[in-house]
Amino acid sequence: MRVLVAMSGGVDSSIAAAMLRDDGHQVVGVTLRLWGGDSDSGCCSVSDVDDARRVAQQLGIDHLVFNFADDFDRHVVAPYVADHAVGRTPNPCIECNRHLKFDRLLERARVLGFDAVATGHHARVVRSRDGGHRLERGADRAKDQSYVVHVLDQSALARVLMPVGALTKAEVRARATELGLRTAAKPDSQDVCFVTASDGRHGFLGRRIELHPAEVVDDTGAPVGRVDAVELVTLGQRRGLGLPGGGPPRFAVEVDVAGRRVVVGDRSQLLDPVTYVDRVGWTSEPVVGDVLVQTSAHGRSSAAHVRPDGAGGAVVRWEEPHPRVAAGQSVVLYDLDDRVVLGGGISRRAGAEPRPSAAPHPVGRD
């Protein structure tokens, strides 16, 4: 089988390529040029392209570079900026997976005659008895990345391989060390490759949109603090709200960008019985019933009942009141064994109009 392996310059994708080569596949590595600006996160930098190229040389496979920078700016960076401007908390890594790795790259691979695309994600694609495919959590729960690849539907799952999903991270690094790969001890990349540690969100967004100070008030409306940029405050935030020290912890329970106001309260004021989800896509058939739900990349799953809303979204009713999910964050559904990904979508604030999407999982279009 001809396999195009997305090589980010990290250890996981390096071992994915090595495993597939050793299994007898015709393997070609590819690195995506996505972000042309500064990056210090361990991905999207010039050094990462070089690491991927040199690992490919070590493995004796060809290596390509695809420039998808325009697509990255249109589908990831621009929406990231626009979401902050209106008070949403986006997840750019998921949008990168949706639009670049599992849409643009799959289509490019098809055009070039490859049978499959492989990545170094810690998740598993399993063939079902009925001939379909399941997306499952990775063997290493501490490194599981099924949350960020939940955007795959049956069409994509049939053409995607994730060989390191069956390994622990320690096993991945051990294999890389045995092979003498230059990425064996390379640290994992961090989220948001286009926001540098030195610049931060404030610097990155401040050059693209106007940031506004806002008053921080308690639930009676009394002023208790102030923030420099309301666009950077997210639901549930505790630090950086200008609150005086002492007393019980208080959290951002409402963020009103247009009104330039942040309301703080105690943890109980963050709890909700229901979460509304837009742009829901399913890995197989739509689900109605009891599920487990994860609302952040490294969060725990919570029990809930889900039902489609008839408008491309879903209503998640929590078994017990759950911390409110910031609008823009991904809500991912798992089976009751907390192993198989059923689908997912994007949270919206209660009372907001659904955000339409013609294709929540755009796969196979160029």
Q: Is 171 exposed, middle or buried (0-12, 13-18, 19+ CB in 10 A)?
A: middle
Q: Is 345 exposed, middle or buried (0-12, 13-18, 19+ CB in 10 A)?
A: buried
Q: What span, in angstroms and rounded, lies between the C-alpha atoms of 147 and 294?
A: 8
Q: Return the DSSP state at 36.
A: -
User: Which parts of 90-168 fold into alpha helices (H)?
Assistant: 92-96, 105-111, 154-157
Question: How far are the Cα atoms of 96, 292, 322 from residue 306, in angstroms, in the given order?
Answer: 26, 9, 14
Helix (H/G/I), strand (E/B), else coil: 17: helix
Q: What span, in angstroms and rounded, lies between the C-alpha atoms of 234 and 328?
A: 10
Catalytic: which of 43, 44, 93, 193? 193
Report which of 30, 24, 5 is spatially closest to residue 16, judged by C-alpha positions: 5
Catalytic: which of 43, 44, 93, 96? 96
Q: In the numeric block, which tokens belong to residue 40?
A: 């210090």
Question: How far are the Cα atoms of 137, 157, 165 from residue 128, in angstroms, in the given order?
Answer: 15, 11, 17
Q: Of all residues in the chain, what percent are helix, strand and coil, respectively (each to 5)?
A: 25, 30, 45
Q: What span, in angstroms and rounded, lies between the C-alpha atoms of 303 and 337?
A: 11
Beta-bridged to residue 277, according to DSSP, are 314, 347
Helix (H/G/I), strand (E/B), else coil: 40: coil
Catalytic (active site) residue 193:
yes
Residues forming the active site: 96, 193
